[in-house]
Amino acid sequence: MSYQRTFRFGGGSNNPFGSLLSLLIFVGVLVALFFMVTGFVKLLYLVAPVLLIATLLINYKIVADYVLGVFETFQTDVLFGVVKVLFSVFCYPFVIGWLFAKAMFHRKMNQLQKDMEHQMGSLNHTFQNTNQETQYTDYEEISSDTNTNEPTETPKIIELPKPKDKLRDDFDQYFKQ
C-alpha cells in the first residue's frame, strides 16, 4: 500500500494564518525601509550646510556653475527654470549632496592627473638622462632626385594562371536548382 502526502507551506488548509504572516512581514519590511529613508533624509537636512561649506572649500566653481546653469535655464525655458529653482529650494539637501559628490569626484580626478603628470615627468627625466649618455652615429643624406642618368627598370608583369574550370563547376553544383 502506498501513501501520498502533500505539504503546503504558507496558506494551506492546516494553517489559516500563513498568508497573514507573510503579509505582516512584508508590511514590516516596508515600514523599516520607510524609517531608514526618513532618518537618512533628516540626517541629510542636518549635514547639508556643512556639505555646502565643504563643497565651496573643495571647489567653489562647481557651485558657481550650478547657479549659472539655473539662471541660463531661464533664458531658454522659463517654466523649466522655475521648476529647477523650486527643486533646488525644496530639495536642497539632495542638490547639495550631489554637488559635494561632484566636487569630490573632480578633486580625485585632479589628484590622479597630477600623479600621472608626476610619473610622466619622472619618466621623461629618466629618458632624458639615458639620451645624454648615448652616442649618435654619423649619417649621410641621400638625395631623392629621380632625374639621374641611371636607367630605370620597368616592372615585370606576372600573369597568374587561370583557375581550373572543374573546380568552379564542382562548387557551382551546390547552387544549381
Domains of the chain, by residue range, sit at: 48-130
The whole-number pLDDT of residue 12 equals 52
The whole-number pLDDT of residue 171 equals 65
User: 45: Cβ–Cβ under 8 A, 6 or more apart, which residues?
Assistant: 93
pTM of the entire predicted model: 0.54
The whole-number pLDDT of residue 132 equals 57
- Exposed, middle or buried, 88 (CB in 10 Å: 0-12/13-18/19+)? middle
- Which three cell numbers mark 79? 517654466
Query: Distances in Å between the alpha carbon of 149 and those of 144, 152, 155?
Result: 13, 9, 18
Distance CA 8, CA 21 (A): 15
The whole-number pLDDT of residue 108 equals 94
Which segments of the chain have a pLDDT < 50?
Answer: none
